[in-house]
Amino acid sequence: MKKAVGFLLISIFAWCALGAEGQKDVSAEREVYNVKWVNGVWGSEVDPNEYLAEEVAKHFNIDLNMEFLPQKELNKKYSVLVASGDLPEVLTYIRRDANFVNWVLDGVFYDLTDLFGDYPNLVAEISMETINISTKVQGRIYGLPITKENVYHGLGIRKDWLDHFGLDTPETLDDIFEYAMKVTFEDPDGNGQDDTYGFGLSDSLYTAFAIFRPTFQEAGVQGTSWKVEGKELEYNFLKPGMTDFVAFLRKCYEAGLVDPASLTVRDNENVRSFNNGKYGLINQNLETFAATKKNLIENLPDSRPVPMVIPPVRAGYPLRMSRSGGWFRMVTMTAAVKETDEAREIMGLFDWMLGDGYEFLSFGKEGVHWEGRNAAGIPQLTEAWFATPPLGENWVNLWLMLRRSSPEFIARPEVRGTEDDVELQKNIALVAEYSTLSPPFVESPIDPILTDRRQRAEERALTGVMQIIIGERPLADLKVLQEEFWQEARGALEAENESLK
């Protein structure tokens, strides 16, 4: 008996030892790559590592570590990362700018040209046309562009206030003006204080005019960025539609509909003021508006924020609210990736995320975030999904843009909201005229001295525009500003134009 027990024990130990040895052999064959992926996010972010890293490890030899930095700090942080040489393996880069091109030339980014064609989902979902104008430098590919084709920009408006004033949903800028007047001067929150405004601007020249920017897109005004028209770069500030844009905002400011305090506060304060029930309008894309709406209702349960179609600048003008490339980011691999095998593994990860992994990214983990499917095969979300989106809101939102939008996909599941919301979003989508592919905004990738001159001219011009809006300069000065801008920046503009051809 003792012999038998002894034999059994020896056998068990031997089996365990062999098993361990066997496991060791397997892991020794599979080199696991530590991949740090740095992203920028607005606001707080749920750490997706718990679910995502676990899922990724099932499919790839990758130990994935997602890191999130505040979007506003991203330029600074990336500069420091690059300067220190402490590069993560993957960076979600903001846009094609002078830094990007210079860093490509310095060898900061991994050349994806020879790899790209091997990944069918990437090839299928990412347009080569977009790559050509965004992430290619000297004919080589250095990033996977993320362009959002279905950005349903709208205005968020207080339906409860519209009802209170007996107004219909605004359809023209004059309607907007009338509504904003009532919000500002007729105390819609009934607190007896003069503390509500039509809307706010911002202390940033580049986002100050965002509230009505989509309205003026059809007039050619899209903020300060370049836009490729045909083969020429055109500068929006110089377009005639800018006059309409500035005149309308000036009229609103003169009438007291713009919160003057908004001119000295940082970004997102407008959203906070809307959430606190102090502004009548907010401009957001409809996905972001869903979060705003949720917050406002939490603060003020009787409020009824709804998205609305942005009125055209003039009757009969088409709206181009949805622009491919209106949102632009790019996923880049850096020089921290030394081996081709590692690069292929990471490209495989990107490919999976747009293919088999896409459902996981959208809906989370089966049994936790969703259970069962409806007749159309769409996973049915559980309460857990709504309580805490499994992979973080911002990042997943960003990533999902990489896939070309399908007609079925209006917004992330939580944003779809009620049937009414879905209907409304569809209506907004229908009135918009979609251009097939307009490229992402580009910044000058050329000599920084020229860029300096152009940026300086741009800052002066935009400061002047702000001064016109707040009444410190006459409206007629816009023409002067446009001329001064052209004189000051002409050389730089022409050189930039040439360099991008």
Partner 1 sequence: MAQKLTTRIKRYRAIYLMALPGIIYFILFRFLPVWGNLFAFVDYSPMKGIWGSPWVGWKHFDRLFNHSDLFMLLKNTFVISFSRILIGFPVPILLSLFLNDVANQSLKKRIQSVIYLPHFLSWAVAANILLIILSPHGLLNAFLETLGREPVNFLIEQDYFLFILNGQSIWKEAGWGTVIYLAALSGIDPQLYEAANIDGASSWQKIKYITLPGIKGTILILLILRIGRLINENFEQIYLLMNPLNREAAEVFETYVFRIGIQGGEFSYTTAVGIFKSIVAITMVASSNHLIKRMGERGIY
Residues interacting with partner 1, by CB under 8 A?
A: 75-76, 78-80, 82-85, 98-99, 102-103, 106-108, 195, 203-205, 208, 259-261, 263-265, 335, 448-449, 452-453, 456, 459, 462-463, 466-467, 470
Minimal distance in Å, beta carbon 437 to partner 1?
A: 30
Which C-beta is closer to partner 1: that of 74 or that of 242?
A: 74
Tokens standing for 313? 């600048």
Comparing CB distances to partner 1, the nearer of 397 and 482 is 482
Q: How far is the CB of 460 from partner 1 (least distance, A)?
A: 9
CB nearer to partner 1: give 68 or 110.
Answer: 110
Compute the least distance from the CB of residue 463 to partner 1, in Å: 5
Q: How far is the CB of 473 from partner 1 (least distance, A)?
A: 11
- 450-454: which pairs have CB atoms within 8 A and are 24 or more residues apart? 450/491, 450/492, 450/495, 450/496, 451/98, 451/492, 451/496, 453/488, 453/489, 453/491, 453/492, 454/489, 454/492, 454/493, 454/496
Q: What values do phi and psi take at 209, rounded to 5?
A: -100, 10
The closest of 429, 357, 344 to 391, measured between CA atoms, is: 357
Question: CB 430 → partner 1: shortest distance, Å?
Answer: 37
Closer residue to partner 1 (CB): 84 or 436: 84
How far apart are the C-alpha atoms of 135 and 113, rounded to whole Å? 11
Smallest gap from Cβ 243 to partner 1, in A, equals 20
Which H or E run includes 90?
Answer: strand 90-93
Nearer to partner 1, 79 or 340 (CB): 79
Provide, rounded to whole angstroms, the least separation between the CB of residue 226 and partner 1. Answer: 18
Q: Are 140 and 113 in contact (CB under 8 A)?
A: yes
As measured in angstroms, the least distance from the Cβ of 489 to partner 1 is 11
Report residue 435 as tokens: 């251009």
CB nearer to partner 1: give 175 or 203.
Answer: 203
Q: Name 443's Cβ contacts closer than 8 Å, sequence gap at least 6.
A: 95, 96, 97, 98, 225, 226, 451
Beta bridge partners of 34: 63
Nearer to partner 1, 262 or 288 (CB): 262
DSSP 459: H
Return the residue matching tokens 């309205």: 215
DSSP of 122-175: HHHHS-HHHHHHHTEETTEE--EEEE-S---EEEEEEHHHHHHHT-PPP-SHHH
Of 401 and 450, the one with the shorter C-beta distance to partner 1 is: 450
